[in-house]
Amino acid sequence: MSKYQENQRERAINLIENSKLFDDCKAGGKFMGKERDFVLSNSNFNLFESIRKDVVTYFEKNKISWWGGTKPTSHTLSSQIACLNYLFPIRNDKNEVLKIAKIICEDIVDVLEIKSDKFLPAYIAFEAVSGKDYLNECKEEQKPARGSQCTSIDALIFAKHKNGKNYLLPIEWKYTEHYNNTDKSLEDRRNEPKGTNGKGQERLSRYSDLINKSEQLKKYDNYKSSVYFFEPFYQLMRQTLWAEQMILKKECEIIKADDFIHAHIIPKENQTLLKKESRDRYKCSGKDMKTTWVEHLKDKNKYKIISPEDLLSNLDEAKYKELKNYLALRYWHS
């Protein structure tokens, strides 16, 4: 556990015990089979009050899987829940979503409704996937399932750039995450002999050719034990490939985009993640996460790290006073 994660757990416990933030919902919900004092006894209260019903309906009608189960998690440090608490309340407000898009890229001039959401389409979609499996992640003939066993985008904005092009703004949301140095290109499958690397070989087979064809990602002769197979770079690699494929195959997609900018939302206090090194065989260690990642990108301007507070810094104070007070109490103020 990182120091930041430990602090946020203590903070959540204090809020559950001493505030009305969770509407008097008590702790004691189960996580990994055990009752925890930072896990709520009722998962509905983990969401901002005004969105509780609509979020559940949105996930159900759009056939989106929840992290860790069939309903919102009770875990108060969930990044999926944090992303929804920040962005779902404003997803129908074009002016406010445009402000967020401009934080990601100041040259955005408009945001467009995301019509790939069959139910409750708006200006932000959650757990977005492509219409077809471009990353070799699904079983034969199956389409990507939102939020489950394929590359999904935590939140997505579809925008118009001042140059006239349509842009994807994929958002990867982090809260207290931190990562070990597991090499995902060497992982074994369950119930297979140790050292066969079955799962790792499958991953290399899925992504290596796509990386070779990428216009954005740095190439290696062999991607085994490369930076692309250590978190958080493994996620960033897949999401970069996803955005590129969405653009290359736009004629097959409801969202027809010409370019993209990848936004990584990370609290400034999560220094364990922001200073994450890679222990890959190409010796990219000794550098912080951003430095390591942008050194693997052809166009460094296509990747932005933004704190949650900065992302919503221009939100209308009067209109969203209740939301900003909630976010400040829950996530910002110590």
Helix 198-213 with 233-248: angle, nearest 10 deg: 50
Phi-psi region of 164 (alpha: psi -120 to 50; beta: other; left: phi over 0): left
Tell me which residue range forms the domain holding 170.
3-332
Count of Cβ atoms closer than 10 Å to residue 40 Cβ: 22
Count of Cβ atoms closer than 10 Å to residue 257 Cβ: 18
Regions of the chain with pLDDT less than 70: 283-286, 333-334
Which tokens hold the place of 261?
């900018």
Task: Name the DSSP class of 217.
Answer: B
Per residue in 216-273, pLDDT (tens digit) is 999 999 999 999 999 999 999 999 999 999 999 999 999 999 999 999 999 999 999 9
Q: Is there a contact between 115 and 171 (Cβ–Cβ < 8 Å)?
A: no
The pLDDT score that the predictor gives to residue 293 is 95
Task: Name the DSSP class of 218.
Answer: P
What is the spatial distance between Cα 243 and Cα 248, in angstroms, rounded to a whole number?
9
The pLDDT score that the predictor gives to residue 184 is 96
Count of Cβ atoms closer than 10 Å to residue 58 Cβ: 21
Q: How many domains does the chain have?
A: 1
The pLDDT score that the predictor gives to residue 246 is 98
The pLDDT score that the predictor gives to residue 58 is 97
